Amino acid sequence: MRPSLSLGLNMPKKLPDDIREQVLTHVGKAPEGLGIEALFELLRNQISRRSLQRLLAELVNAGKLNIEKRGRSSRYLIPAETLEIQRKIMFRCLLPEPR
């Protein structure tokens, strides 16, 4: 039996159930968007870089994130329509209930 190669990385084989929500929350908190390096740092030890790339592509294809390419780097942003809906929901939550 061959010994398995280990690079010393303790990356989980199964992604956390809430990883999509974590990505969307982190990106939503950054008005200028986030690049993959910043997201990778925020999600350290929860997801591999390649899995994060796949997840970001999936979220872009689903319309949950927009991608803005700047030279060699890309930034991920929450679509403007989604932000507007979130603002309206938060505004309604802050209003006192009608009597």
> What is the CATH number for 61?
1.10.10.10
CB burial class (10 A; 0-12, 13-18, 19+) of residue 31? exposed
**CA-based Rg of the chain, rounded to a whole angstrom?**
18
Domain count along the chain: 1
Residue 1 within any structural domain of the chain: no
Residues 66-78 have pLDDT tens digits of 999 877 789 999 9
Residue 5 within any structural domain of the chain: no
Residue 10 within any structural domain of the chain: no
Residue with tokens 């990385």: 9
Put residue 13 in one of left, alpha, beta given phi > 0 → left and psi -120 to 50 → alpha.
Answer: alpha
Using 50, 70 and 90 to split pLDDT, how confident is the model at 95? Answer: low
Domain around 38 = 19-94
User: Among 23, 38, 27, which residue's Cα sits nearest to residue 73?
Assistant: 38
